[in-house]
Structure 1
Amino acid sequence: MKRTYRLAGSIVLAASLSLLSACSILPKPEQVDMYRLPAAQVPVAASHSAPVTWSLRLDKPMASGALNNQNIAVVPEGNLISNYKGARWSDTAPVLLRNRLLDAFLQDGRIQGLSTDDSNLQSDYELGGELLAFQTHYNGKSPQVLIQYNARLVRSSDQRVIASKRFEARQPLSNPMVPSVVAGFGQASDTLMPQVVQWVMQQGQAER
């Protein structure tokens, strides 16, 4: 009987040691820092013009698989696209851009009937398009943030394209570390947002 207990104890001890050994060789999970797109440092100035009578829905722009995720993309050279290790956006790049546009239109104040494709409310116009670039780009010397947005304004009643335009913003970076890169995305967005807002206002009013 004692021999049986001794054998069982040996088996338990061996199993425990085996489990500890297995745990020691498992890779540790990667620590990931989550970053929001910075709030506007240069907010879109509130317009003193009267509110418009039409409504607008903001759609997430379409994007390639390399951008339609939470990675912070970087193009170190040529056609190679990579991402910053241990860092992620708080949402996908198309959602970040759409939400930043929503903030810009709210700050402008002329369109009171604003919605997004998440709510799927009826609207007079829809702003969508393609997110062509949302990345850090190295041009052989110093890095810069590059945002390219092909905007498309569509009349909701018949899905006719009213106008389309490509917008681009570049922000040079003096520091290649991730926090500075994230700040650069905020600065590039500050450049882009007023241009898109003003273009949409002009095109929407021209149709009335």
Structure 2
Amino acid sequence: MKIRAGLGLFAAALLAGCSVLPESEPATLYRLPVAASQTPANNPLLGDKRLGVAAPEAGHLFSGNRIVVYPDRNVVNVYEGARWHEDAPALIQTRLIDALSQSGLFEGVSVDRLPSDLLLVSELRHFQSEYDRTPPMARIQLDVQLVDGKRQPIANETLIASARAASVEIPDVVDAFGEASDRLSAALVEWLANLSSDALESERLN
């Protein structure tokens, strides 16, 4: 009975696209390509505020540093021998901080551990390569929420971005993740720049 149970768990792990065996060779570590420059933006309601950016929450699939791929329909897998150089939520947090700092929307942008007037919290819902056709597409979905100093919600949005890889090779897939990340960052900057006084509930910010 114990042997059968063990085999059942092993099969379930394989079906989930996760190997219970160690990788035969050290994995190559990848970082996101250097971010594209962000267009300066302005919102008078935010210009004198300091923003903290929290690392996104993420489920088990996207919380680590494995590069996730959907090779076919409902199949979930990871690229063998390749990993991000840090966990995916940390990658996204750094990307957002860089983009928002470049935009000039806020007086200052930093990690959420430092004092701030506003906080951007989020959940990473998608961060994978998808074989809807060949070559694959990098897809990112981030549900974001702007909250005040008391963690009261101010505004929220769902941001989705994608980019097609130049080939099936992992370096080209990584480049596609970088391009999709740039598009996601640009969409975030645009959303914040266009928030109205009603959406921002300006009485909370004064």
TM bin (shorter chain): 0.7 to 0.9
Partner in structure 1 of residue 6 of structure 2:
none
Which 4+ residue blocks in structure 1 deviate beyond 2 angstroms?
Answer: 46-51, 200-208
Q: Is the 8 A contact 1:33 1:86 kept in 2?
A: yes
Hey, what's the Cα distance between the residues in 1 that align with 2:194 and 2:43? 13
- SS of the equivalent of 1:197 reads helix
Hey, what's the Cα distance between the residues in 2 that align with 1:127 and 1:28? 36
Partner in structure 2 of residue 33 of structure 1:
28
1:194–1:140 CA distance, 2 compared to 1 (3 A): closer
Partner in structure 1 of residue 132 of structure 2:
139
Q: Percent identity?
A: 34
Q: Structure 2 length as normaliser, TM-score? A: 0.79
For residues 131-175 of structure 1, the C-alpha deviation after alignment (integer angstroms, 9 at most, x for no partner) is 000010111554111011111111122x21111111111111230
Q: Which residue of the other structure, out of 44, 50, 58, is the alignment partner of 2:38?
A: 44
For residues 160-195 of structure 1, the C-alpha deviation after alignment (integer angstroms, 9 at most, x for no partner) is 111111111111123011000000011111211111
Partner in structure 2 of residue 180 of structure 1:
172
Q: Which residue of the other structure, out of 49, 54, 57, is the alignment partner of 2:52?
A: 57
Gaps of at least 5 residues in structure 1 are 1-26
Q: Is the 8 A contact 1:74 1:83 kept in 2?
A: yes
Q: Shift of the alpha carbon at 1:201?
A: 3.4
For the pair shown, which has the larger CA radius of gyration, 1 or 2?
Answer: 1
| 1:162 is the counterpart of 2:157 | no
Partner in structure 2 of residue 129 of structure 1:
122
Q: Is the 8 A contact 1:146 1:188 kept in 2?
A: yes
| 1:201 is the counterpart of 2:196 | no
Hey, what's the Cα distance between the residues in 2 that align with 1:124 and 1:203? 16
Gaps of at least 5 residues in structure 2 are 1-21
Q: Structure 1 length as normaliser, TM-score? A: 0.78
For residues 4-56 of structure 1, the C-alpha deviation after alignment (integer angstroms, 9 at most, x for no partner) is xxxxxxxxxxxxxxxxxxxxxxx99512111111112x310234777811111
Amino acid at match of 1:131: L
